Structure 1
Amino acid sequence: MTKSLNILLIEDDAIEVMKFNRVLKKLELNHKIIEANNGEEALDILKNKEIIPDIILLDLNMPKLNGIEFLTILKNDEILKYIPSIILSTSSNHKEMMECYKIGIAGYVLKPLKYEDYVDRIKKLLDYWSTNELISQ
């Protein structure tokens, strides 16, 4: 059985945020999206712990606090460290990818150039996490 997810989307590019939301609408997925423009804003959202997202999708290259810095802080929090964090990036830099996995990400998805391929990847990603047994806080 699939469930509706609370997704924290951390992305500084407004076009990427619009594209992600457009995919959800196109696929008729009823997931709740909480948006943050950078890692610092995301930490502020998570700090009050009123809304604990089921998954976090984030870009690596962001202002103020980049993806790796954000993940390092997140994974040192005793409650938040269990939230599956998935990188959505255009970077295929192997060193960055390995650093993210060492920190403890749940996945790394490259954003394809073609919109149809992007839709397919987001669908597969969300299908998996909406059927996966997530840890409840």
Structure 2
Amino acid sequence: MDDFKPISALMVEDNIDHAELMIDAFNDFNIKNTIAHVIDGEQAIAYLRNAAPYEDKSKFTRPDIVFLDIRMPRQGGIETLKIMKADDDLCSIPVVMISTSKTEPEIKECYRLGASGYITKPLKFDDFSKKMKELNYYWVLTSELPK
């Protein structure tokens, strides 16, 4: 697995347990991957724009991909996706929406707004871990990410 190109990601997830599972799966796939974690959409936009408290561009680098939870306090994922896709500097970053919901209107809305993918969080730990590894395989091995 050392031959896989490392990617950097931003995980936007308010549930710390879910975030840790996703981060572990991401790092298990390729230890050279880097992943930053914020807990809501407002923090995500600040991070992506290098606004306070994320001004240090050497520490808070632009991610290759964003994993964005839909239901979060303060600013949810759909609103964050709208902001990202309306911003010329952020719109090219692929965004994978993550939710416990499988409702068709929500899925359609995310794709209409420019999401690159939509995955549901399985309830069982093993299923969740497997899905995260499959997600990594796709984004690291199959997909070409913008620089």
TM-score (normalizing by structure 2): 0.85
Q: Give ranges in structure 1 of 5+ residues lacking alignment.
A: none
**1:29 to partner: Cα distance:** 3.8
Q: Which of 116, 120, 128 matches 1:106? A: 116
Asked if the contact 1:24/1:30 (under 8 Å) is kept, the reply is no
Structure 2 counterpart of 1:6, which letter? S
TM-score (normalizing by structure 1): 0.91
**1:129 to partner: Cα distance:** 0.8
Return 69-78 or 119-128, whichever deviates more: 119-128
Q: Which of 11, 14, 29 matches 1:12? A: 14
Asked if the contact 2:9/2:34 (under 8 Å) is kept, the reply is yes
Q: Which of 30, 36, 39 matches 1:37? A: 39
Q: Which of 38, 41, 52 matches 2:62? A: 52
Q: Which of 114, 119, 144 matches 1:133? A: 144
Q: Please name the residue that 1:75 is paired with.
A: 85
**1:28 to partner: Cα distance:** 5.2
C-alpha separation in 1, matches of 2:78 and 2:117: 13
**1:26 to partner: Cα distance:** 4.5
Query: Closer, same or farther in 2 for the Cα pair 1:108/1:79, shift >3 Å?
Result: same
Asked if the contact 2:27/2:33 (under 8 Å) is kept, the reply is no
Identity %: 35
Asked if the contact 1:5/1:32 (under 8 Å) is kept, the reply is yes
Structure 1 counterpart of 2:145, which letter? L
SS at match of 2:86: coil
Q: Aligned Cα RMSD in Å?
A: 1.6
